[in-house]
Structure 1
Amino acid sequence: MTNLQQLRHFAALVEHGNFARAAEAAHLSQPALSRSIQALEASLDCRLLDRHTRGISLTVHGQVVLEHAQRLLAGSRALENAVSQLDNLEAGELLLGSGPYPAARLVPQALGRMASDWPRVRVKLLIDNWQGLRERLLRDELELFVADIRDLSQDPLLSIQALGVHPGVMFSRPDHPLAERRNLDIEELLEYPLAATRLPESVERELSSVSGREQPVSIQCDNFMVLKALVAQSNVLSMAPWDVIADDVSAGRLVILPLRHNSFNQHSAYGLVSRAGHTLSPAAQAMRLQILADAPP
């Protein structure tokens, strides 16, 4: 798995142009630096460098990885700097909101670190769909929330920071009648009940269009844990960003339903949302940084 240390070594190698100078700058032996670069290439399954007598040159893949590495390393430095300024955060309360999907993985990871770093900060977490969270934010019942932002992006009352995306997937229990099928169409999926959270308008329109149904969702529930339990014990299907069911798929509790190419293309659209023109409290700033540390680039 790619890590920041490997990216630091890669960036140093590009900066210095050869292994000897880069290894010295990184306080490594040349064999250790070479192993780190090889491990990065193996984790990404591509060649990043062309090695020759004059030094190294970047491949096309290497150029792309370098751009992302520089952004990630800059973000890591910014996070460390910002967190170091909050060492005196010994009290306070954070009113935090989350959509159902971020609440299944992204927010608990960030909240766990927050609780470890600043145990005296009290956090009240509310889980709701993006509409309910927006209303509560504007009533000052929340200071910050992370949720799908597709239907919020043009709202002048909000300050929004988009996060990276995860591909969307349809999933079922492992022994579902469709689990062994390939190249499924949406029409075949919707022969079975579909359960989902409240969908963004763009997703609902696409699902209605490809299915030919005005109301394609049979069961709407904004508690994703309930949706997963429902899918695990019935023929009900559901949809979600990949990150929130990756562990369940790896453990064999759920399976991804392979859709025909271009039959339904969706992805997550998480974002951090606060009130426009309002300065975040130290606790909210700290939580924002924790979430950004886990969000995909």
Structure 2
Amino acid sequence: MLFNKVRLQHLLSIAEHAHFGRAAAALNISQPALSKSIKSLETDLGFQLLERSRKGTALTVFGELVVRHGALLIQAQSELLRELHLLSDLEIGSLRVALGPYPSVISGYEAAGKVLALYPKLKVSLRVGCWKEVARLVLDREADIGVAELSLVSDDSRFVTELVGQHQGRFLCRPGHPLLGKGAVPMSALFDFPWINTRLPKRCTADFPREPTAAGSFDPRTGEFVPSTEFDTPIQLAKLISNTDAVTFSSLGLVEAELKAGLLVPIPGIALTGNYGFIYLQNRPLSPATLTYMKAIRCVEKAYCLREQRLEKKYQALLQVPDGNQQ
């Protein structure tokens, strides 16, 4: 083989540290072993790659060219090996998933549990972050697939997207909140109270006031709405707002127990729609484990939608508003 992956990694380390001793320490090998590796690489290529001096070690023009392409060659080799391993038995494969806040608790974790029940030896990694972080993890190949808000990446040709979760979200408050008992609540009234929630994407916020309010403000860099209290994952919502006049936001299915116990009350007149789905790289084959996980997500989402419809019907009297008042 013309390019040996280990020798290329050795050269890249020397380029980074500009010193054989420091590079050898970072690689956890001896300096003579590193020198021998670089000499073998130079012999294979037929060019001198490094120049030593009292000031340290520098790349020759040939070394600079090899370093420039070396990282890409290593990544390409890793991708080739990955695709070959995709043909392996699913029992010994791996699954790396990046999840947005709401899909993580609606279907992401449950779907992973279903897959692990079938394939207990499968190595699974689940990471939760905002939709931007999910897209970055997929793009950097740190996740095989993402499940998150789609509006950020739907027009990006580097990704393939598929809608899987479209849920009715409701604003919620504690019993006895000042907004309750007045019929349908206009969206504008919510901005007089603190919000406890995840960030909201631009597609949901076209009618929000541009100036800061008690509810929160816009991030000038991203255009996202940042609530006055921001969290990463929608859990323990009743405990968060139980002693405050803050409001929060959730699909009814996530707070079914709290609604039943009377710890949370839906605010009538207002609804927003969730819009998340699969995100993966264009032209990158999906592993059997990933395809199995996607199938499990679709199954969990289908069951969740039926539960959500049942809850919407159950609380219809509280949620129903005259035509034109729903946001």
Short-chain TM bin: 0.5 to 0.7
1:223 aligned to which of 223, 233, 238: 233
What residue in structure 2 maps to residue 9 of structure 1? none
Give the match's secondary structure for 1:150: coil
- Superposed, which structure 2 residues align to 1:203-218 within 5 Å? 203-208=204-209, 215=218, 217-218=227-228
Contact 1:174 1:252 in 2 (8 A): yes
Q: Give me the whole-angstrom Cα distance separating, in 2, the residues matched to 1:138 and 1:283.
A: 19
Shift of 1:169: 0.7
Contact 1:203 1:266 in 2 (8 A): yes
Cα distance change on mapping 1:176 and 1:265 into 2, 3 Å: closer
Cα distance change on mapping 1:251 and 1:144 into 2, 3 Å: farther
- Superposed, which structure 2 residues align to 1:1-297 within 5 Å? 89-208=90-209, 215=218, 217-225=227-235, 227=237, 229-259=239-269, 264-296=270-302
Shift of 1:226: 5.7
Cα distance change on mapping 1:166 and 1:116 into 2, 3 Å: same
Q: Give me the whole-angstrom Cα distance separating, in 2, the residues matched to 1:270 and 1:136.
A: 16
Shift of 1:125: 0.8
Q: Give the % identical residues.
A: 25
Moved over 6 A (4+): 209-213
Higher relative contact order (CA 8 A, sep 6+): 1
- Cα deviations across residues 237-292 of structure 1 (Å, max 9, x unaligned)? 11123333334323433221102xxxx54211121111111111111111111001
- Cα deviations across residues 24-50 of structure 1 (Å, max 9, x unaligned)? xxxxxxxxxxxxxxxxxxxxxxxxxxx
Q: Give me the whole-angstrom Cα distance separating, in 1, the residues matched to 2:266 and 2:287.
A: 40
Q: Give me the whole-angstrom Cα distance separating, in 2, the residues matched to 1:209 and 1:202.
A: 14
Give the match's secondary structure for 1:137: helix
Structure 1 residues 88-97 or 137-146, which shifts more?
Answer: 88-97
Give the match's secondary structure for 2:96: strand
Q: Give me the whole-angstrom Cα distance separating, in 1, the residues matched to 2:280 and 2:142.
A: 11
Q: Give me the whole-angstrom Cα distance separating, in 2, the residues matched to 1:249 and 1:211.
A: 30
Amino acid corresponding to residue 236 of structure 1 in structure 2: A
Cα distance change on mapping 1:192 and 1:137 into 2, 3 Å: same
- Structure 1 unaligned residues grouped into runs of 5+: 1-85
Give the match's secondary structure for 2:111: helix
Cα distance change on mapping 1:190 and 1:118 into 2, 3 Å: same
Q: Give me the whole-angstrom Cα distance separating, in 2, the residues matched to 1:266 and 1:211.
A: 20
Which has the higher Rg, Structure 1 or Structure 2? 2
Cα distance change on mapping 1:158 and 1:199 into 2, 3 Å: same
Amino acid corresponding to residue 279 of structure 2 in structure 1: V
Contact 1:145 1:273 in 2 (8 A): yes
- Structure 2 unaligned residues grouped into runs of 5+: 1-86, 219-224, 306-327
Cα distance change on mapping 1:275 and 1:232 into 2, 3 Å: farther
Contact 1:186 1:210 in 2 (8 A): no
Cα distance change on mapping 1:238 and 1:210 into 2, 3 Å: farther
Cα distance change on mapping 1:207 and 1:271 into 2, 3 Å: same
Shift of 1:164: 4.2
- Cα deviations across residues 154-192 of structure 1 (Å, max 9, x unaligned)? 111111111142112101123433344421122322221
Amino acid corresponding to residue 297 of structure 2 in structure 1: I
Amino acid corresponding to residue 104 of structure 1 in structure 2: V
Name the TM-score, length of structure 2 as normaliser: 0.57
CA RMSD, aligned part only? Answer: 2.7
Cα distance change on mapping 1:241 and 1:208 into 2, 3 Å: farther
Name the TM-score, length of structure 1 as normaliser: 0.63
Contact 1:166 1:243 in 2 (8 A): no
Amino acid corresponding to residue 99 of structure 1 in structure 2: G
Shift of 1:198: 1.7
Amino acid corresponding to residue 139 of structure 1 in structure 2: D
Q: Give me the whole-angstrom Cα distance separating, in 2, the residues matched to 1:204 and 1:257.
A: 18
Q: Give me the whole-angstrom Cα distance separating, in 2, the residues matched to 1:226 and 1:205.
A: 28
Shift of 1:128: 0.6
Cα distance change on mapping 1:199 and 1:124 into 2, 3 Å: same
Give the match's secondary structure for 2:208: helix
Q: Give me the whole-angstrom Cα distance separating, in 1, the residues matched to 2:198 and 2:285.
A: 31
